[in-house]
Amino acid sequence: MTTASPVPTAPAPPVGVVGLGQLGGSLAAALVAAGRAVAGWDVDPAAREAAAARGVRITRELAGVVVLAVPLPAMAGALDGLDVAPDATVTDVGSVKAPVLAELAPVLGGRYVGGHPMCGTERSGHAATDPGLFTGARWAVCLEPDTALPRWLRVAEVALDAGAEVVPATAAEHDEAVAAVSHVPHLLAAALAAAAGEAGPLALALAAGSFRDGTRVIGSDPAFVTAMVQGNAGPTAAALERVQAQLARPWPELVAAGHAVRAAAPAGRRTVHVPLDRAALLALGRAGGAVTRRLAAFLEGWVPEG
């Protein structure tokens, strides 16, 4: 049996967060609380002040693991004017991965490892900072064929320290998956709300739980949602077509099919130990599992069961 003891590893590198809004401000605060050394920068002085008050060292000089937490259209230029250590690993929290990989890999090469925490609210800006935002959330950390595993691990450790569980996936796999569970739901929420708006004030006055739950995300910043769905246009259009095909089914059949997915959801989790190996990690992600901590020579995680 393998002994599960914490690893005596090199001290965790510092983390630099670029963009201290909802995601970046929350990550910086969570990492400070976890005892990591955190530096950060934002173009907005108010965001810098709020982060400094939470223990973030405000500077343009960043090293260790540098996390880009800026809006998607700002990703490509996010490091402009910053002094980033030449050996730093750069990651991001952008909601789409293939376009950011296409922008950053030519500049950063193997130093770039994409990421995406599956959390956040419809609020934005530093006032939405919540150090508990990542607790228990899934955080995709991308493994491309040329990703250096030690750099992947550094990024995974940032996500774990913030309280998240790490899901290994390629950028393309990630984009296809989130099209179905995030980007299409954003479009459907907008469609539901627009149709209810056309139905008139009586309908809106009677709207209750199912309408509220189905449209919660329409409060998100429209620029954020637009950048997300357009940045993942191909997979999102394909996922939307699958939803349209579902809607064309006879209603009793459709309702039963949706309920069956819920009813078949795994009831439990089985703990697994995974070597630090690309194929093994990707297999864990494809099985619906996640990494929860790093141990001596391997990673501990779980896969769905039951």
Ligand X SMILES: NC(=O)c1ccc[n+]([C@@H]2O[C@H](COP(=O)([O-])OP(=O)(O)OC[C@H]3O[C@@H](n4cnc5c(N)ncnc54)[C@H](O)[C@@H]3O)[C@@H](O)[C@H]2O)c1
- Residues contacting 179, CB < 8 A, separation 6+: 232, 235, 236, 238, 239
> By C-beta, is 40 or 301 nearer to ligand X?
40
* CB-based burial, 203-220: b 16+ in 10 Å, e otherwise: eeeebeeeeeebbebbeb
Q: What distance in Å separates the CA atoms of residue 94 and residue 73, rounded to the nearest whole number?
A: 10
Rounded least distance, CB 46 to ligand X, Å:
8
Q: How far is the CB of 22 from ligand X (least distance, A)?
A: 4
Tokens 């077509």 found at:
241
Q: How far is the CB of 223 from ligand X (least distance, A)?
A: 9
Which residues lie near ligand X (CB under 6 A)? 18-24, 41-44, 47, 69-72, 74, 77-78, 93-95, 116-117, 120, 124-126, 224, 228
Coil, strand or helix at 229: helix
The CB-of-78 to ligand X minimum distance in angstroms stands at 5
Distance, CA of 187 to CA of 194 (rounded, Å): 10
> What distance in Å separates the CA atoms of residue 192 and residue 218, rounded to the nearest whole number?
10
Q: Give residue number: closest CB to ligand X.
A: 21
Assign 187 to helix, strand or coil: helix
Nearer Cβ to ligand X (176/299) = 176
Q: Give min distance, CB of 120 to ligand X, in A.
A: 2
Nearer of residues 43 and 255 to ligand X, judged by Cβ: 43
Nearest approach, Cβ of residue 208 and ligand X (Å): 25
Minimum distance of ligand X from residue 220's CB (angstroms) = 7
Which residue number, 43 or 148, has a Cβ lying nearer to ligand X? 43
Nearer to ligand X, 32 or 70 (CB): 70
Q: Which is nearer to ligand X, 123 or 278 (CB)?
A: 123
Residues with Cβ < 8 Å from 138, sequence gap 6 or more? 117, 118, 164, 165, 166, 167, 290
CB atoms under 10 Å from CB of 100, counted, come to 25
Nearer to ligand X, 51 or 291 (CB): 51
Q: Rg of the chain's alpha carbons, rounded to an integer?
A: 20
Token couple for 220: 């998100």
Indicate the helix (H) or strand (E) that contains 172: helix 171-178
**Helix boundaries (H) for 138-217:** 149-161, 171-178, 184-199, 201-206, 209-215
